[in-house]
Structure 1
Amino acid sequence: MAVDLSRLKILIVDDNSYMLTILRTLLHGFGIKNIFESRDPAEAFDTVRADVIDIIITDYQMDILDGLDFVRLVRTGDDSPNPMVPIIMISAYSERSRVQKARDAGVTEFCCKPVTARDVFAKLTSVINAPRPFIRNKSYFGPDRRRAGAEQAMYRGPGRRASDAAEAAAADEAGEGVADKDGANAA
């Protein structure tokens, strides 16, 4: 089944003109016609305020205002018109700590450089076809960081935490057993 992405408005934010060209070429190849580009995150935020952007693709590491600061500005800025816009972050630095920082800033998806057409297309279709609900609390605003599928969300068995395992072991020792999915004790 072909996906029509032609009506999307995508903003690319990267201070590297070569990377802008690569991403623009990929997006054109997917049929996307409305592509905004910015080498400066502050200028990019002006674009976000001036136009309706469907998806943002931003680099992690940029001078002055980096990608994380830009994401936080879009997510929590008082004058941000669409704090729930999907944001895909790209980076050559994919250490776990950086990915976690991006996630905690409110990034929707993370894509490692060198990017491939397959990776970019997968991230785009993911934010379109499987949007995650947004969470707001005292220290975070952004897409739900949990990636559990519907099967896990419906899980009704013993918990996954170590303390739950200890409680289950204690119940087994006490002869109480653990109920299986049909409700019968499996002791």
Structure 2
Amino acid sequence: MAEAGISGWIGRLLRGLGRRLGDHAVAAAEADAATAQDRLREAIDLLPEGVVFLDAEGRYILWNKRYAEIYHRSADLFRPGAPFSETLKIGVARGDYPEAIGREEEWLAERMHRLMNPSGERHEQRISDGRWLMIEERRTLDGGVIGLRVDITAMKQQAEALEEALHRAEAASRAKTEFLADMSHELRTPLNGVLGLGQALAATELSDSQRVLLTDMVGSAQDLDGLVNGLLDYGDRARAADAAPGGGVTPSDVPALRVLAADDNPTNRKVVELMLGAAGAQVISVENGQQAVDAWRAGAFDVVLMDLRMPVMDGLDAIRAIRKAEGAGLPRAPIIVISANTSETDVEASAAAGADRHIGKPLRAEQLFEAISGVLD
């Protein structure tokens, strides 16, 4: 470790004192100074952080063992009075500072500017062996610089591990959400067909034994619907909000309406056609979002019913396309999303795309009539 800087200063001080004191006093002062210097050196060497002292011109005065250990590839260059900039240049030429590669001169200028204008602000530095250092530099009373170096490699690794774990957790959460959405769609789509067709069949003439069988079938489908809702624990609040009839809404509220219904499942299309057809509405059914946009452009519809998950173009994109076309002067179409996906996120996505309502499957006739009445009002 360098001692010449401090020793020289102490020597000058003692020579000045020697002119006023006798040799005995000077010898005693030198002994005390040597003891103090040894204690200072020992104290600095015991610090867990790397410490370096530079003079006002940026030259080495003193450094501790930890500083030399941290910069072990350059430790042979440390000597009192040597410019810090020269050590830094050699380190850059050796590739000791990865961030300087490809922009060596610019990096050196930035580093020396920060060094000679110390603000005490901490910054990080990566060195070639993969370690990370936290650097803090402050101005001393005599115009020099004291620099601290702390090895934060372990902290960086922990932070990276935590970030990676967070990304994995987010990915798992997205996968869970997608799985639940898929499960919801795959389970509720056939349930929608069973319950919808059951309702339509109940409106026809049946024998007593047939009606008993139908009641059992619909009851079993409703029980299954309840189990699915409990299993998925998914969007019940959104579904419940639209499930309640709107103050005695009946099929008489929707006669003579021209309705466009988009759903890729033929049974679901049949359910809507039966429900609305029995009430006197004219239903035009299509299989995907692109067909829905094309049909809407070609004909005047009072209401658009839109499934979300469809091939070619999904429901959200179809809604956006319709709303964009309306901005060009076409009349606004009331749009109701009918989907097995009824989470809060799904409802918000529908609203953001431009839907007026979002109701869930399995679809009930009174639920559909209430939604249509609501958007028309």
TM interval, short-chain normalised:
0.5 to 0.7
Tell me, in whole angstroms, the C-alpha distance in 1 between the residues paired with 2:326 and 2:368: 30
Check conservation: 1:74, 1:83, Cα contact below 8 A.
no
Deviations 1:123-164 (A, max 9, x none): 0111122xxxxxxxxxxxxxxxxxxxxxxxxxxxxxxxxxxx
Task: From 56, 73, 76, give the equivalent of 2:324.
Answer: 76
For the structure 1 residues 15 and 80, does the alpha-carbon distance in structure 2 shift closer, same or farther, using more than 3 Å as the test?
farther
Task: From 52, 56, 75, give the equivalent of 2:304.
Answer: 56
Aligned residues: 128
Q: 1:44: which partner in 2?
A: 292
Query: SS where residue 269 of structure 2 aligns?
Result: helix
Question: Is 1:124–2:124 an aligned residue pair?
Answer: no
The structure with higher relative contact order (CA 8 Å, sep 6+) is 1
Cα RMSD for the two superposed structures: 2.0
Computing the radius of gyration from Cα coordinates, the structure with the larger value is 2
Query: SS where residue 338 of structure 2 aligns?
Result: strand
Percentage of identical aligned residues: 28
Tell me, in whole angstroms, the C-alpha distance in 2 between the residues paired with 1:91 and 1:125: 18
Shift of 1:113: 0.4
- Unaligned 5+ segments in structure 1 are 130-187
Task: From 11, 14, 22, give the equivalent of 2:263.
Answer: 14
Shift of 1:120: 0.3
Structure 1 counterpart of 2:273, one-letter code: R
Query: SS where residue 107 of structure 1 aligns?
Result: coil
Shift of 1:44: 1.9
Q: TM-score scaled by structure 1?
A: 0.63
Query: SS where residue 77 of structure 1 aligns?
Result: helix
TM superposition outliers: structure 1 runs of 4+ over 4 Å: 78-81
Check conservation: 1:76, 1:83, Cα contact below 8 A.
no
Check conservation: 1:15, 1:40, Cα contact below 8 A.
yes
Check conservation: 1:48, 1:81, Cα contact below 8 A.
no
Query: SS where residue 61 of structure 1 aligns?
Result: coil
Task: From 14, 28, 31, give the equivalent of 2:280.
Answer: 31
Shift of 1:77: 3.0
Tell me, in whole angstroms, the C-alpha distance in 2 between the residues paired with 1:88 and 1:82: 18
Tell me which protein shows more helix as a share of its residues.
2
Tell me, in whole angstroms, the C-alpha distance in 1 between the residues paired with 2:355 and 2:332: 10
Q: TM-score scaled by structure 2?
A: 0.32
- Unaligned 5+ segments in structure 2 are 1-248
Shift of 1:7: 2.1
